[in-house]
Amino acid sequence: MVMRLSDYLDKGASLGDSAPCLTMGSESMSYREVRELSGRIAAALTRSVGPGAKVAILSANDPIAFTCGFGIARAGGVWCPVNPRNEAPENRDLLELFDCECLIYQSAFEPLVERIRDDLPKLTTLVCLDRDGADVPSLGRWLGPADPPPVGLDTPVSVPPDDVVMLVGTGGTTGKPKGVMLTTRNIETMTALMLMGYPFEGRPVYLALAPLTHAAGVLSLPILALGGEVVIMPRPDLGEFLALVARHRVTHTFLPPTLIYMLLEQPDLSSTDLSSLQCFWYGAAPISPARLEEAIGKLGPVMAQLFGQSEAPMMISTMPPEDHFLADGSIARNRLASAGRPSPLVTVAIMDAAGRLLPVGERGEVVVRSSLVMAGYYKNPAATAEASMHGWHHTGDIGYLDEDNYLYIVDRAKDMIITGGFNVYSVEVEQALMEHPDVQDCGVVGLPDDKWGERVVAVVQPQTGRAVSSAELIAFVRERIGGVKTPKQVEVWSDLPRSKVGKVLKNEIRSRLLN
């Protein structure tokens, strides 16, 4: 027996089902209301598509949409989160790949749904969250009357630990996306690692600005297990983010580095009461150590790193707030560039191309063994075999472990630049650039070069209202990391291309520079 996704909700409800569970704006749903609605959703799914069905949710951050995920779990289905920021062809490819039979969506995405539904013959059930369509029922009409008993609220359900409960699409930035199969055991391991690795005092309050289809969603599970409240933001707004932290006495939240950099420039930051914060998670992309130190100064001693990927969600390694400091209370500057230490239930090693494990300090691919690791890629045995060569899960990240077992990620394997016979790791160059006070964000890529094989090229986004010159930045970086790693070319752009979750898209940078 393991925890279903809905069991985290039920655990929280057992601590007091009248407590607020999901809040957005001035409206709040209690644990009792969320449980009952999830049971009605489960009953409707059982009636419409049966157990084991793949069910996708296409919605902006919304408490009802999030509740549908727990209804899918109660019905024994597979939750397929779909990013609402994707273009129609990408979402069509995901729904086709996942063999989705049911799609629950917000009316704002009806034009997208209309474009793709005829290409998806397996998609037999469509439900609109917030209104009736011409031939699509609203959620309320689909659920029917509340009289029939909801499914799965009070009846114990035996769940095999390796049952697939989520299908998550990889980014797809390097080609066709793959479907990551996450099991009940994977999610339980992830949640246990979160609860043992970070501070949780009292009933937590979690503020979800980032998409609930990604990290913000699964980070909610330990909050719910403790009977806490999840405050949901329907759209990104950093001014409102700060106001909600103070208004709801938020204890936990998550932002990717790009949004943290923007948060540090908010005019209301210094006057906002942040004293309730226990844990401000950051992850999903490398963070600048210089900006992280600034965040500690402005947000408090609450910064907490997590490192993972869709295939091993969130918790490969962790760095709780206290690990950002030395024993004497000073900031552990050398540690700020790390991804923390491997989690207690995760074994991390560094491997060379031949499958040999490397000693401390040597760089190679980061490989993992853990019950955190996915069951494989859906309908893609070749990719599954490639990712699990030599009996380890291969992350595709290049890194090393130091003498204190801190993990340092120096690059994605595909982003390493070989210039003049030397390996240059783009993350190291980016960190040097980010130390410049006028740089907001940057991306470093390799471009073909007749002399060097590849040359290091940086694209920089300046801080709002500030100007930077290429010559100044080249000199700044050379002083810090030497001539070999210094960009031969620096471009200044007003903004950088980003993925739907805020990651800088190096493929697009490279493409633009070559065209």
Dihedral of alpha carbons 444, 448, 451, 453, sign: positive
**Which of 438, 430, 440, 443 has the alpha carbon at shortest distance from 480?**
430
Q: 207 with 276: CB under 8 angstroms?
A: no
- Among the residues of 75-166, which ranges form H helices? 88-97, 110-116, 139-143
Mean pLDDT of all residues in 114-130: 94
pLDDT tens digits along 352-397: 999 999 999 999 999 999 999 999 999 999 999 999 999 999 999 9
pLDDT the model gives residue 160: 74
For residue 126 the two structure tokens come to 């469509």
pLDDT tens digits along 341-351: 999 999 999 99
On the question of pLDDT at 173 being above 80, the answer is: no
Query: Could you give the CA distance from residue 29 to residue 15 in angstroms, rounded to a whole number?
Result: 15
pLDDT the model gives residue 51: 87
- Percent of the residues in the chain that have a pLDDT greater than 90, as a whole number: 76
pLDDT tens digits along 439-493: 999 999 999 887 888 899 999 999 988 989 999 999 999 998 888 899 999 999 9
- Pair type for strands 341-342 and 346-351: unpaired
pLDDT class of 174 with cuts at 50, 70, 90: very low
Write the burial class of residue 160 (CB in 10 Å: 0-12 exposed, 13-18 middle, 19+ buried).
exposed
The chain-wide mean pLDDT, for the chain, equals 92
Domains of the chain: 5-185 (3.40.50.12780), 236-412 (3.40.50.12780), 416-514 (3.30.300.30)
The DSSP bridge partners found for residue 194 are: none
pLDDT class of 412 with cuts at 50, 70, 90: confident
Q: 383 with 178: CB under 8 angstroms?
A: yes
pLDDT tens digits along 38-69: 999 999 999 999 888 999 999 999 999 999 99
Query: Could you give the CA distance from residue 8 to residue 216 in angstroms, rounded to a whole number?
Result: 15
For residue 187 the two structure tokens come to 């999610």
* Residue/partner pairs of 383-390 with CB below 8 Å, 24 or more apart: 383/178, 387/311, 389/355, 390/351, 390/355
For residue 177 the two structure tokens come to 């996306």
Q: 461 with 496: CB under 8 angstroms?
A: yes
Rounded to the nearest 10 degrees, the angle between the axes of helix 426-434 and helix 470-481 is: 110
Q: 259 with 240: CB under 8 angstroms?
A: no
First-to-last alpha carbon distance for the chain, in angstroms, is 55
Q: 281 with 304: CB under 8 angstroms?
A: yes
pLDDT tens digits along 181-192: 999 999 999 999
Q: What is the DSSP letter of 325?
A: B
Residue for token pair 């009248």: 18
